[in-house]
C-alpha cells in the first residue's frame, strides 16, 4: 500500500465530524499531519531492529509522553495485543520517538493513518480499545505540531488549531459509541480526569473567566450562534481551570485537562474560530494562557507569550478588560 497523501488523510479523517455547513479545511491541514508527508511506500519488512528500539523507548517513556502518572502498562498491552487486529495502534505508538527516527516515525504514522481509515467502518466490541488509544496518540502528535509550526503568525496558528480540532474530533468520533465501555476497560486507570471532572461538577466554578463571560452575555447580539457557542466554550475552559486548581500539585491533571478542551468544545465554536469571530478568539486567549503555564510539557514547549499578545492586539481595546486574566499570565504584562 502506498503512503497516504496528506490531503487525503486529513480530508478523510476530518469528514467524520465536520458539520454539513462547516467551512472547508484550510490549506494548513497538510502541515498538521506532517507524518503523512514525504513518504513513499511502506517498509518491506513490517518491523525491524530499529522498531524494537522504538518499542523500548515507548516502554520507558510512554507515561511522560502522554502526560499521565501511574501504571502505563495498559497502553503497551493494548498496542501489542492488538498488533494483528488493529496494527495502526502499535504503529502510532512506535512513532512517538519521531525527533530521533524521523523516517521510520513518518512511515509508521502514515501507515497507521491508512490502516485506520480502512478500518474505521468496522470498529466493534472487539477492537474499540486500540482504536481509542490510537486517537489519543495521534491527537498528541498533531497538537504538538500545531504549536511547533505556527507560533509566529496568529492567523496561521488559528487555522492550524481549527484543523487539529476537526481532525482529532473526527478520529475520536469513530469510538464515541463505546465511551462507557472504554471507561470500564483496561485503560480506565489512565482516564482519572473523567472521575475528577465528575467530582468538581458539584463544586462552585472558579472566577478566572468571569469577566469575559459577563462581557459576552452583555453583548446586544448575545443570542447569535457565535456568541452562545463561545460562552459554552468558555464554560468548558473554566472547567479545565477548575480541574487544574482542584489538585494544583498534580501536573498530570493539568496536562490532561488541557488536552481535553479541544475535544469537548462544540462544532459551532470551532466554526466561529475558523471565521475569526472576536468572541471565539477571546476564548482562545484563555486556552493559550493556560497552555503557556504548562509549556514545560513537551507538547506545548513551543507556546510563546507573543502569540497571546498578538491575539489580544488583534481583538483591540473593546476586549481589553476581558483579556486581563490571559495577559496576567505573561511576565511583564
- Residue-by-residue DSSP string for 209-265: THHHHHHHHTSTTTTSHHHHHHHHHHHHHHHHHHHHHHTTT-HHHHHHHHHHHHHHS
Higher pLDDT, 332 or 174: 174
Grid coordinates belonging to 70: 501511574
The stretch 152-175 carries a mean pLDDT of: 89
**CA atoms 261, 262, 268, 272: torsion sign:** positive
- Asked whether the predicted pLDDT for residue 204 surpasses 70, the reply is yes
318 close to 282: Cβ distance less than 8 angstroms = no
* CA gap 8, 5 in Å, rounded: 5
Q: What is the pLDDT of residues 129-139, one digit of tens each?
A: 998 888 888 88
Q: Of 26-30, 31-35, 173-177, give the range with the top mean pLDDT.
A: 173-177
33 vs 315 pLDDT, higher one: 315
d(CA 290, CA 230): 17
Closest-CA residue to 283 (of 272, 297, 299)? 272
pTM of this structure: 0.77
Cβ(271)–Cβ(22) below 8 Å: yes
What is the mean pLDDT of the segment spanning 124-150?
Answer: 89
**Which DSSP category does 176 fall into?**
G
DSSP tally for the chain: helices H, then strands E: 17, 0
Amino acid at each position: 500500500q502506498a503512503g497516504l497523501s496528506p490531503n487525503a488523510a486529513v480530508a478523510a479523517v476530518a469528514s467524520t465530524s465536520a458539520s454539513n455547513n462547516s467551512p472547508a479545511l484550510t490549506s494548513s491541514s497538510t502541515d498538521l499531519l506532517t507524518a503523512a508527508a514525504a513518504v513513499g511506500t511502506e517498509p518491506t519488512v513490517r518491523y525491524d531492529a530499529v522498531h524494537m528500539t522504538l518499542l523500548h523507548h515507548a516502554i520507558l517513556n510512554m507515561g511522560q509522553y502522554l502526560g499521565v502518572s501511574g501504571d502505563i502498562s495498559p497502553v503497551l498491552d493494548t498496542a501489542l495485543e492488538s498488533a494483528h487486529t488493529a496494527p495502526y495502534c502499535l504503529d502510532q505508538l512506535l512513532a512517538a520517538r519521531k525527533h530521533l527516527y524521523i523516517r521510520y516515525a513518518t512511515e509508521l504514522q502514515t501507515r497507521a493513518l491508512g490502516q485506520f481509515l480502512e478500518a474505521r467502518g468496522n470498529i466493534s466490541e472487539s477492537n474499540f480499545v486500540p482504536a481509542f488509544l490510537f486517537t489519543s496518540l495521534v491527537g498528541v502528535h498533531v497538537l504538538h505540531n500545531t504549536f511547533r509550526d505556527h507560533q509566529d503568525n496568529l492567523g496561521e496558528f488559528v487555522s492550524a488549531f481549527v484543523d487539529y480540532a476537526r481532525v482529532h474530533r473526527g478520529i475520536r468520533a469513530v469510538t464515541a459509541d463505546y465511551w462507557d465501555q472504554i471507561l470500564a476497560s483496561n485503560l480506565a486507570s489512565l482516564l482519572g480526569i473523567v472521575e475528577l471532572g465528575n467530582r468538581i461538577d458539584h463544586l462552585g466554578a472558579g472566577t478566572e473567566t468571569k469577566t469575559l463571560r459577563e462581557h459576552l452575555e452583555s453583548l446586544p447580539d448575545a443570542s447569535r450562534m457565535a456568541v452562545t457557542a463561545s460562552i459554552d466554550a468558555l464554560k468548558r475552559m473554566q472547567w479545565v481551570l477548575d480541574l487544574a486548581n482542584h489538585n494544583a500539585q498534580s501536573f498530570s491533571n493539568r496536562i490532561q485537562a488541557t488536552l481535553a478542551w479541544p475535544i469537548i468544545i462544540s462544532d459551532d465554536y470551532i466554526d466561529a474560530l475558523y471565521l475569526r469571530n472576536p468572541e471565539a478568539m477571546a476564548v482562545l486567549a484563555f486556552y493559550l494562557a493556560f497552555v503557556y503555564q504548562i509549556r514545560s510539557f513537551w507538547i506545548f514547549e513551543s507556546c510563546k507569550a507573543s502569540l497571546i499578545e498578538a491575539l489580544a492586539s488583534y481583538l483591540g481595546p473593546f476586549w481589553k478588560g476581558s483579556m486581563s486574566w490571559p495577559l496576567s499570565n505573561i511576565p511583564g504584562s
